[in-house]
């Protein structure tokens, strides 16, 4: 049962070097000019050509062709309607798949980790490590109250920096792609998919590669295999290799009809977790206009008799605090707290707001009695 639900957005992964949505295309273009793309160069060129075309088509609207989320959303809509300039439906489908690889490669090239020379294996970033430790502390406090209480994490990020920190701290997690209850660990609900997820060519179900698990072999270097090679995932349903090389990721737009049943399961779980939550903490999620879906999910999820005790929003931009305070119903406003900090500083502040040190000291004192 979820007591504390964390909602993480792009701002949480910013410190890893991952571009934000509005500078994503600039970083991707740098990779092209710096000749870092090898066999993906052609794919990047095609995506940029398509974006240039979109600029002409959407010149009359206020959609921004500089924002990767808008661009990804338009590609998805074009695929649904089979319409994008003079392109054939096959070309549109190809472009839609290309942009997923484009996003995955850009993240893989910009997020660098210490490969841990003396201690083989990738090291998490200090911020995500601090977050993993906060989860552990909260776990001890929750368990003392009620053995069924725990935290859960809803995230909009495609990258795997969070998973790496949990793996490093031997914290189990589960993606909740299916209803199977056998899975143990913290729910990590990736509402927009993940770079290590793939959609089966045959049955259309979503599976994942356990990138940091013992069975996954990756070569050491400064880069992490963020793409998780979806084509190698064994589909649990058909027992065959998934076969699609692009990751199962989706844009934040309203159109989520074409999404797999498994990702829908993740949303259902997210609504359930919000429903039970006593404490909700939002870090680095700016509630973009394009993500109407989240607003509705949030409204449905929090429409319960559970009394929310804390609603904390951490973001260096005060406008984000204002947006959330408007979104919240009157009943919660006096439990709302805006923290004008980035991820790194937010963890320290959260420890204070959750009274972690005192609670742990009390637990310690009780155990020595």
| DSSP3 helix / strand / coil % (the chain, rounded to 5) | 45, 10, 40
Nearer to Zn ion, 130 or 200 (CB): 200
Nearer to Zn ion, 235 or 280 (CB): 235
Write down the least CB distance from residue 46 to Zn ion, Å.
Answer: 28
Q: Could you give the 3-state DSSP secondary structure of residue 327?
A: helix
- Contact residues toward Zn ion (CB under 5 A) are 200, 202-203, 235, 237-238
Do residues 124 and 132 touch, judged by C-beta distance below 8 A?
A: yes
Do residues 201 and 187 touch, judged by C-beta distance below 8 A?
A: no
Nearer to Zn ion, 238 or 353 (CB): 238
Question: Among 28, 161, 51, 189, which Cα is nearest to 102's?
Answer: 28
Write down the least CB distance from residue 72 to Zn ion, Å.
Answer: 25
Nearer to Zn ion, 200 or 347 (CB): 200
Write down the least CB distance from residue 250 to Zn ion, Å.
Answer: 18
Write down the least CB distance from residue 183 to Zn ion, Å.
Answer: 19
Nearer to Zn ion, 202 or 254 (CB): 202
Write down the least CB distance from residue 235 to Zn ion, Å.
Answer: 3
SS3 readout for 192-241: CECCCEEECCCCCCEEECCCCCCCCCCCCCCECCCCCCHHHCECCCCCCE
Buried-state track 212-236, b at ≥16 Cβ within 10 A, e below 16: beeeeeeeeeebbbbbbbbeebebe
Do residues 265 and 177 touch, judged by C-beta distance below 8 A?
A: yes
Q: Could you give the 3-state DSSP secondary structure of residue 336?
A: strand
Write down the least CB distance from residue 239 to Zn ion, Å.
Answer: 8
Nearer to Zn ion, 53 or 245 (CB): 245
């Amino acid at each position: 049962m979820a007591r504390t639900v964390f909602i993480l957005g792009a701002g949480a992964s910013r410190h890893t070097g991952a571009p934000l949505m509005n500078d994503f295309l600039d970083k991707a273009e740098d990779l092209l000019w710096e000749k870092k793309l090898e066999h993906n160069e052609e794919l990047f060129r095609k995506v940029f050509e398509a974006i240039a075309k979109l600029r002409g088509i959407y010149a009359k609207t206020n959609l921004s062709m500089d924002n990767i989320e808008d661009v990804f959303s338009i590609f998805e809509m074009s695929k649904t309607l089979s319409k994008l300039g003079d392109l054939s439906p096959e070309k549109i489908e190809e472009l839609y798949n290309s942009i997923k690889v484009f996003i995955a490669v850009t993240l893989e090239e910009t997020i660098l980790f210490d490969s841990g020379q003396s201690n083989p294996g990738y090291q998490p970033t200090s911020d995500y490590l601090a977050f993993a430790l906060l989860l552990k502390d909260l776990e001890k406090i929750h368990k003392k109250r009620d053995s069924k209480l725990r935290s859960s994490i809803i995230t909009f990020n495609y990258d795997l920096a969070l998973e790496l920190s949990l793996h490093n701290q031997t914290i189990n997690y589960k993606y909740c792609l299916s209803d199977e209850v056998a899975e143990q660990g913290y729910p990590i609900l990736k509402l927009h998919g993940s770079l290590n997820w793939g959609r089966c060519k045959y049955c259309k179900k979503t599976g994942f590669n356990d990138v940091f698990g013992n069975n996954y072999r990756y070569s050491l270097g400064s880069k992490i295999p963020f793409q998780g090679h979806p084509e190698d995932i064994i589909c649990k349903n058909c027992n065959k290799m998934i076969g699609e090389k692009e990751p199962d990721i989706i844009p934040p737009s309203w159109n989520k009809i074409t999404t797999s049943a498994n990702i829908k399961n993740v949303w259902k779980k997210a609504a359930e977790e919000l429903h039970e939550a006593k404490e909700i903490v939002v870090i680095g999620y700016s509630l973009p206009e394009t993500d109407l879906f989240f607003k509705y999910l949030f409204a449905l999820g929090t429409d319960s008799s559970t009394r929310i005790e804390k609603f904390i929003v951490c973001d260096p931009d005060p406008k984000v605090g204002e947006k959330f305070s408007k979104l919240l119903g009157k009943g919660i406003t006096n439990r709302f707290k805006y923290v004008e900090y980035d991820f790194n500083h937010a963890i320290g502040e959260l420890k204070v707001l959750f009274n972690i040190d005192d609670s742990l000291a009390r637990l310690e004192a009780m155990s020595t009695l």
